[in-house]
Amino acid sequence: MISAVLFDLDGTLLDTAPDMVAATNRLLVEENRSPMPFAALRPVVSHGSTGLVRAAFGDELGPERMQRLITRFLELYAQALAVNTVLFDGVAELLEQIEDRGLPWGIVTNKPQRLTERVLDELNLFANAGCVICGDSLEQRKPHPAPLQHAARLLKSRPETCIYVGDAERDIQAGRAAGMMTVVASYGYIQAHESPDTWQADGSLRHPLELQDWLHDASRT
């Protein structure tokens, strides 16, 4: 029996790629480099600022320059973090149906709290979320299971009765380690070399509304 549903944020609930890629390209221009195609950077968005900086500038950056670029990326992103960001198609309806079932839902993301709260406020997602756990809410972050375990406690649910939906391997690793059912958001930001079939998730979604079938089947067990 499912008692709660937890979601990753970027690439699962929100299509943040337009604004994340825009910030990356502004950083490239500042550094006297050419912008990169949206299609080249979109799959990297789930890996956050570190992944985007590496994709844009390469893996050979020294630690000091890497940190400087990440800091500047976050500044640029914070200046325009909800310009073209939207909920994925079907997410609003899915959340409404989850609420109609009387199930609490929450967000567990590695995104920093200051950015998470701002984008959720802009999109009016904060009010109904039972919990929002960010990358700096605890000492540990995904793929460590602690953020998911903490979310389950806040929702007064046992981990084994929770579903966690995410589009990155670390999401599935964290969910499995927490003892939750895990579902891959395959419509999210998955790179060409990644193989979600090997992540050992309990299932995958091509569209957010497909989660309804999981909830329906689970309610009958």
User: Where in the sequence numbering do the catalytic residues fall?
Assistant: 8
Determine the 3-state secondary structure of 84 from DSSP. Answer: coil
Lookup: tokens for 214: 């999981």
Residue for token pair 């997410």? 91
Other C-beta atoms lying within 10 Å of the C-beta of residue 185: 28
The DSSP-derived string for 109-150 is -SS-HHHHHHHHHHTT-TTT-SEEE-TTTSS--TTSSHHHHH
What the block records as the tokens of 212 is 């309804």
